[in-house]
Amino acid sequence: MSQKKNRTELLHQTYVHSLKIERRWIRSYQAIIFIVFFSSWELASQKQWIDPLLFSSPSKIWLLLLDKLQDGSLAANIGVTLTETVFGFILGTLLGTVLAAILWWSPMVSKILDPYLVILNSMPKVALGPILIVALGPGYPSIIAMGAIISVIITTIVVYTSFKEVDPNYLKVLRTFGATRLQCFKEAILPASFPTIISTLKVNVGLSWVGVIVGEFLVSSKGLGYMIIYGFQVFNFTLVFLSLLVIAVFATIMYQLVALLEKKIVKE
Amino acid sequence: MSFLQVLDIHHTYFTKTSATTALSDITFKVEEGELISLLGPSGCGKTTLLSIISSLLRPTHGTVLLENKPISTSKRQIGYMLQQDYLFPWKTIEENILIGLKLSKQLNEKTKSIALKLLNQIGLNGVEKQLPKQLSGGMRQRVALVRTLATEPKLLMLDEPFSALDYQTKLKLEDLVSLTLKDFGKTAILVTHDIGEAIAMSDRIFLFSPSPGRLFKTFHIPEELRKLSPFETRNHETYSKIFQTIWKELESLEPEKE
């Protein structure tokens, strides 16, 4: 009997151990890809296999990073872009959810607006950029609007679909207690859709970055998008790559924060 | 002057291509404190009738009177229990059982303590702060019963409330629900497709025939069985006799199919 138990324990230990080893392999392959990519980039650039003027090199980008950190211009530009993105992202998600709530509230409105939503969703929203800049002026408002407008329609559609898919029996329970439509929304529809809303947040993080960077391309005065367009105009591709890498880092951080939020909320 | 009067109910569902009559010519009366079962094959409009009685659905024709007043104005007098518990998974047990009181703005210290006491009476201690998923199926259905009773409805609708449970839990809950309803003197209408459950639980059984749903036959359960608990009824000698009678009637409802 105890022998059997010992055997199970032993098997469990081997299993846990094999999981650990697998994880170690995955991590080391990830590290190898990272190192190989950057070192071959560096090597190719130094040996002039690729045009160093066009493709720059990791060491040049690193030096420029230190330089820009020292004069404070990088931090300022990051601050600008990050603020715009966060606001655009929150605004897009909130507006989209409110619109979805309106559509749920009135089935008539949702039937009437259906074709318009389809058109708006298939339209490339960045094309509205010039109009926004003229209407709101070349500054924060128009860029935040870009960040928001790009995600608002898709949020509306996804969240509205999830509102509609809430099990009607939950509503039946509430209606037997004499609940009004607002109470039904507050007690059942909205909380049941939280997981969907959070997962649209994840998509919206990426979309808002697109909107904001394109907005900064157009306005060209501050931010990481401006750094890219400026680097391109003066043919300083080290600056372009630096901005790209910084964007990659911050977009990832934002995504991870949302993922963390999701874990916290959906767990409950 | 019956407690509940269902008068000449017709109901038809409309779709683009068809009009299906779900209920036709339904009239019956229920006295206060009675437990009625609606028995019948699926598709005979039992759930539709429950929805109409609880004023969730407006019938195409006919009226329902509760204490001689039309049911639509007597809202919040009816409790509804569904096939599954439908407890809100993001609310604690306490929030779940208080939702009815909260929605009808009756939530105060007194009604709250009554509801929590009811939870204890039904054999659930120390689960107030837990989430529904931490409880077993039988426990959750009991919480759903407390939620339904918390608003002190005069009339209870039980829409196959035991059908999602395993057999043992089902038998235990039948006893518990029957006892609780008798204790509180509640009037209830139970929808079921289980003949045994109908005999064990109710005072009268209404047998429905399908397409369109009609009241086919009424069975009165003898006094000696009505006094017993559902579990004891199932073991009583007259139980199987009644079962046979109803079984034959049910058979006669669907001869063409074979």
What value of ipTM does the predicted structure carry? 0.83
Please report the pLDDT score of residue A97 as a whole number.
92
Cα B35 from Cα A160, distance rounded (Å): 42
Torsion angle of the four alpha carbons A53, A57, A59, A61, in this order, in degrees rounded to the nearest 10: 70
Mutation site for B-interface testing, chosen from A170, A172, A176 by largest number of B Cβ within 10 Å: A176
Tallying the residues shown for chain A, one arrives at 268
Q: Which residue of B has its CA nearest to A194?
A: B90
Please report the pLDDT score of residue B76 as a whole number.
67
Secondary structure E strands in B15-139: 19-30, 35-39, 61-66, 69-70, 78-81
In angstroms, the separation between the Cα of residue A182 and the nearest Cα of chain B is 11
CATH number of A58-267: 1.10.3720.10
With CB atoms and an 8 Å threshold, state whether B84 touches A169.
yes
> Could you tell me if A124 lies within 8 Å of chain B, comparing CB atoms?
no
Please report the pLDDT score of residue A108 as a whole number.
92
> Could you tell me if B151 lies within 8 Å of chain A, comparing CB atoms?
yes
Please report the pLDDT score of residue A267 as a whole number.
61
B-facing residues of A in 171-190 (CB < 8 A) are: 172-179, 183, 187-188
What value does the mean pLDDT take over residues B174-199? 86
- Paired with B206 in beta bridges are B38, B218
With CB atoms and an 8 Å threshold, state whether B151 touches A191.
no
Please report the pLDDT score of residue B209 as a whole number.
84
Mutation site for B-interface testing, chosen from A173, A183, A194, A265 by largest number of B Cβ within 10 Å: A173
Q: How many Cα neighbours within 13 Å face the side chain of B227?
A: 3
Q: In this predicted model, what pLDDT tens digit does every residue of A211-235 receive, in sequence order?
A: 999 988 888 788 889 999 998 898 8
Cα A25 from Cα A21, distance rounded (Å): 6
By C-alpha distance, which of B140, B155, B152 is closest to B65?
B155
Cα A235 from Cα A10, distance rounded (Å): 63
Under the banding of pLDDT at 50, 70 and 90, the label for residue A105 is: very high
In angstroms, the separation between the Cα of residue A171 and the nearest Cα of chain B is 10
The residue among A31 and A131 whose pLDDT is bigger is A31
- Paired with A200 in beta bridges are none
Cα B227 from Cα A96, distance rounded (Å): 59
Supply the mean pLDDT for chain B.
84
By C-alpha distance, which of B123, B163, B161, B167 is closest to B141?
B161
Q: What percent of chain B has pLDDT over 70?
A: 96
List CB contacts (< 8 A) between A168 and chain B: none
Is the pLDDT assigned to residue A177 strictly greater than 50?
A: yes
In the three-class reduction of DSSP (H, G, I as helix; E, B as strand; rest coil), residue B29 is classed as: strand
Inter-residue contact B10 to B23 (CB < 8 Å) = yes
List CB contacts (< 8 A) between A267 and chain B: none
Please report the pLDDT score of residue A1 as a whole number.
57
By C-alpha distance, which of A159, A184, A150, A56 is closest to A99?
A159
Beta strands B155-159; B61-66: pairing state:
unpaired
List CB contacts (< 8 A) between B47 and chain A: none
Q: What does A229-245 look like in DSSP terms, one character per residue?
A: HHHHHTT-HHHHHHHHH
Q: Angle at Cα A201 formed by Cα A199 and Cα A193, nearest 5°?
A: 50
Cα A243 from Cα B17, distance rounded (Å): 61
Q: What percent of chain A has pLDDT over 90?
A: 41
Q: Which of B79, B84, B88 sits opposite A176 (nearest CB)?
A: B79
In angstroms, the separation between the Cα of residue A194 and the nearest Cα of chain B is 10
What value does the mean pLDDT take over residues A160-168? 91
> Could you tell me if B99 lies within 8 Å of chain A, comparing CB atoms?
yes
Under the banding of pLDDT at 50, 70 and 90, the label for residue A98 is: very high
Task: Give the range among A1-10, A42-51, A119-128, B17-26 with minimum mean pLDDT.
Answer: A1-10
Name, in order, each residue with C-beta under 8 angstroms of A138's C-beta and a sequence gap of 6 or more: A219, A221
What value does the mean pLDDT take over residues B91-107? 86
Under the banding of pLDDT at 50, 70 and 90, the label for residue A253 is: very high
DSSP state of A51: -
- For each of the domains in chain B, give its residue range(s) and CATH number, in order of start: 1-43+58-73 (no CATH), 75-189 (3.40.50.300)
Amino acid identity, position B55: S
Please report the pLDDT score of residue A25 as a whole number.
95
Is the pLDDT assigned to residue B158 strictly greater than 60?
A: yes
List CB contacts (< 8 A) between A175 and chain B: 56
Is the pLDDT assigned to residue A192 strictly greater than 70?
A: yes
Please report the pLDDT score of residue B72 as a whole number.
61
Please report the pLDDT score of residue B258 as a whole number.
43
With CB atoms and an 8 Å threshold, state whether B75 touches A178.
yes
